Amino acid sequence: MKSFVASVAPTTRRQLLPNETMCLTVPYRLVRIDGFSALGEFGGRTRELSLLLMPEPVAVGDYVLAQVGDFAVEKVDEATADEIVALLEEIPAVAAGGRS
């Protein structure tokens, strides 16, 4: 689960410096793809996502991690997505479908 905690680089875990921020990524299951745009589903809600930053091809049914700004940044397997969702369920606002 390398991308659950992200800073400047989504796959790097490190302590944040005082002026840095952290971005929470959320696993979306892709339900539709149209070029570099996709519709992702998380927590019973759908959201339009951009695939422009994806380093690898994705298909309908794949899970991607998306962060604020609606950009998908990494493909993950279903087990990793399930692990992240379990952790997010401990954060009521996010588990209820809040924005990342």
Tens of pLDDT, residues 50-78: 999 999 999 999 999 998 778 999 999 99
Task: Print the domain residue range for 27.
Answer: 5-13+20-95
Output the pTM of the full model: 0.68
Task: Tell me the CATH number at 42.
Answer: 2.30.30.140
Q: How does pLDDT run across 6-37, given as a tens digit for each residue?
A: 333 344 455 656 666 667 788 999 999 999 99
Q: Is the pLDDT of residue 47 over 90?
A: yes
pLDDT attached to residue 91: 73
pLDDT attached to residue 6: 36
The residues, any chain, with a CB within 8 Å of residue 75's CB and separated by 6 or more, are: 54, 56, 58, 62, 63, 64, 65
Domains held by the chain: number: 1
